[in-house]
Amino acid sequence: MINKMHKEAKIYVAGHNGMVGSAIVRELRKQGYENIITRSHSELDLTRQDSVEKFFESERPDYVFLAAAKVGGIGANSAALADFMYLNMMIEMNVIHSAFENNCRKLEFLGSSCIYPRMSPQPIKEEYLLTGSLEKTNEAYALAKISGLKYCEFLNRQYNTDYISVMPCNLYGINDNYHPEHSHVLPALIRRFHEAKINNSESVTCWGDGSPLREFLYVDDLAELCVFLMNNYSGNETVNAGSGREITIKDLTGIIANIIGYEGKILWDTSKPNGTPRKVMDVSKAESMGWRAKTSLKDGIRLAYKDFLSRYK
Ligand SMILES: NC(=O)c1ccc[n+]([C@@H]2O[C@H](COP(=O)([O-])OP(=O)(O)OC[C@H]3O[C@@H](n4cnc5c(N)ncnc54)[C@H](OP(=O)(O)O)[C@@H]3O)[C@@H](O)[C@H]2O)c1
């Protein structure tokens, strides 16, 4: 029997100021859940075991979405392997363990597609987890995420809990990170093309030849899946989250330039690496349960750009 959330249930969304956490809060409110508890990073540092234990003992949430994490692109990840491992392991172990100690009915853990082997066959199925070596640049982050999802599985196996995990592909949308050095590819391109437009730049040079295939999911579609899984899925195996649609980086840049209204040239610096030629999730498991990503890439980028403009300084 799956533990469905009743509308008065006390729901803790960890990381509610982040892109994923804020989208989960929006989705919960849309579906009529009002008893949502949150704490900002400055109010509750989730790496501090004592503080997390006290918070769970006093609040005793019925359900937990764990969307707090130390997140960053390749540069940030590879420059701070130790920090990424320590901070993420601490957040995960503290939150998952305190939820368990305080009889949380169900917890959903957010991971990432980087948990899968570097040379995974494509599209990546959930069962490929731990079948090969990880990508070195984000090995620490991936190991921390694998530990989090395995800890959920081991609690289920040892104590019969109902803790689940979801692994999204590249995300974008409202509240994304547009930091010039620490952002992911899609928000980084939005910023670069926007700046090129306002500076009347003749050209924008992108890395590689634009041929790699990637998959992007609008964050509100992920949030809908997260709430859906909380109400409809139980199991030890993780669930992939993706749009199921692939696009080359070249086509993506064309769409972004067009939406932003940048009319200069787009050049490709082929002396720079392309990265993995193809990275796409097999999302048939989520789709077989009845979920499907609704937002088209163009609509999603329009919404993300609107949000970017409202926050860009
Ligand atoms: N973004 C993507 O493309 C993507 C793709 C796949 C999976 N995911 C997964 O989705 C989850 C959320 O990612 P996101 O993109 O929403 O990241 P995000 O925007 O950086 O949000 C993470 C949130 O966690 C909070 N946090 C970090 N350390 C904390 C701590 N010690 N105590 C309390 N709060 C802390 C952050 O607060 P501060 O900012 O104040 O530190 C932030 O609000 C992660 O598990 C990530 O792996 C993201």
The pLDDT assigned to 79 comes to 86
Residue 52 maps to a domain: yes
Cα 209 to averaged position of ligand 1 atoms, centre (Å): 30
Three-class DSSP labels, 154-182: HHHHHHCCCEEEEEECEEECCCCCCCCCC
Split at pLDDT 50, 70, 90, the class of 153 is very high
Cα 219 to averaged position of ligand 1 atoms, centre (Å): 13
> Per-residue pLDDT for 57 more than 80?
yes
Split at pLDDT 50, 70, 90, the class of 216 is very high
Residue 206 maps to a domain: no
> Per-residue pLDDT for 276 more than 90?
no
Does ligand 1 have an atom closer than 6 angstroms to the CB of 51? no
The pLDDT assigned to 180 comes to 83
The pLDDT assigned to 85 comes to 97
Cα 259 to averaged position of ligand 1 atoms, centre (Å): 27
DSSP-based three-state secondary structure for 294: coil
Residue 45 maps to a domain: yes
| Region 119-142 average pLDDT | 95
Does ligand 1 have an atom closer than 6 angstroms to the CB of 83? no
Does ligand 1 have an atom closer than 6 angstroms to the CB of 171? yes
Residue 185 maps to a domain: no
Stronger pLDDT, 181 or 85, i.e. the higher one: 85
Pairing of the two strands 11-14 and 213-218: unpaired
| Region 270-277 average pLDDT | 86
Residue 39 is part of which domain span?
11-172+216-242+281-294
| Region 196-220 average pLDDT | 96
- 114 CA: nearest ligand 1 atom: 6
Residue 260 maps to a domain: no
> Per-residue pLDDT for 165 more than 80?
yes
| Region 129-154 average pLDDT | 96
Does ligand 1 have an atom closer than 6 angstroms to the CB of 23? no
Split at pLDDT 50, 70, 90, the class of 264 is very high
* Bridge partner list, 12: 37, 64
Mean pLDDT of the chain: 95
Cα 197 to averaged position of ligand 1 atoms, centre (Å): 30
Query: Residue 220: which of 243, 240, 202 has the closest Cα?
Result: 243
What is the domain count for the chain? 1
The catalytic residues are 141
Question: Is the pTM here over 0.85, yes or no?
Answer: yes
Q: How far apart are CA 196 and CA 198, in angstroms?
A: 6
Residue 195 maps to a domain: no
pLDDT digits (tens, 9 = 90+) for 1-44: 777 999 999 999 999 999 999 999 999 999 999 999 999 999 99
Residue 307 maps to a domain: no
Does ligand 1 have an atom closer than 6 angstroms to the CB of 38? no
Kindly state the tokens that stand for 84. 């990424």
| CATH number (domain holding residue 85) | 3.40.50.720
Residue 167 maps to a domain: yes
Does ligand 1 have an atom closer than 6 angstroms to the CB of 279? no
Cα 263 to averaged position of ligand 1 atoms, centre (Å): 34
The pLDDT assigned to 98 comes to 98
> Per-residue pLDDT for 291 more than 80?
yes
Does ligand 1 have an atom closer than 6 angstroms to the CB of 274? no
Out of 19, 86, 279, give the residue to mutate to test ligand 1, the one with the largest number of ligand atoms within 8 Å of its CB. Answer: 19
Residue whose CA is at the smallest distance from ligand 1 atom 18? 18
